[in-house]
Amino acid sequence: AMATRKASGAVLDALGPEMPHLIGGSADLTPSNKTDIEGREDFQKDTPEGAYLRFGVREHAMAAASNGIAVHEGLRPYCATFLIFSDYMRPALRLSALMGQPVVFVFTHDSIGLGEDGPTHQPVEHLMALRAIPNLTLIRPADANETVEAWRAALRRTDGPTALALTRQGLPTFDRTELASAEGARRGGYVLRDAPSGEPEIILIGTGSEVQHALSAARTLADDGTQARVVSMPSWELFEAQDEAYREEVLPPEVTRRVSVEAGATTGWERYVGLEGRVIGIDRFGASAPGETVMQKLGFTAENVVENARELLR
125 is catalytic: no
Going by C-beta distance under 8 Å and a sequence separation of 6 or more, which residues neighbour residue 278?
258, 259, 260, 308, 309, 311, 312
**DSSP code at position 210:** G
Catalytic residue among 59, 146, 149, 262: 59
Within 10 Å of residue 146's Cβ, how many Cβ atoms? 29
Q: Which DSSP string corresponds to 223-266?
A: HTT--EEEEE-S-HHHHHTS-HHHHHHHS-TT---EEEE-SS--
Given a contact cutoff of 8 angstroms between Cβ atoms, the answer to whether 62 and 86 are in contact is no
Reduce the DSSP state of residue 12 to 3 states and report it.
helix
User: What is the 3-class SS of 40-84, one letter each residue?
Assistant: CCECECCECCCCEEECCCCHHHHHHHHHHHHHHCCCEEEEEEEHH
Please give the positions annotated as active site: 59
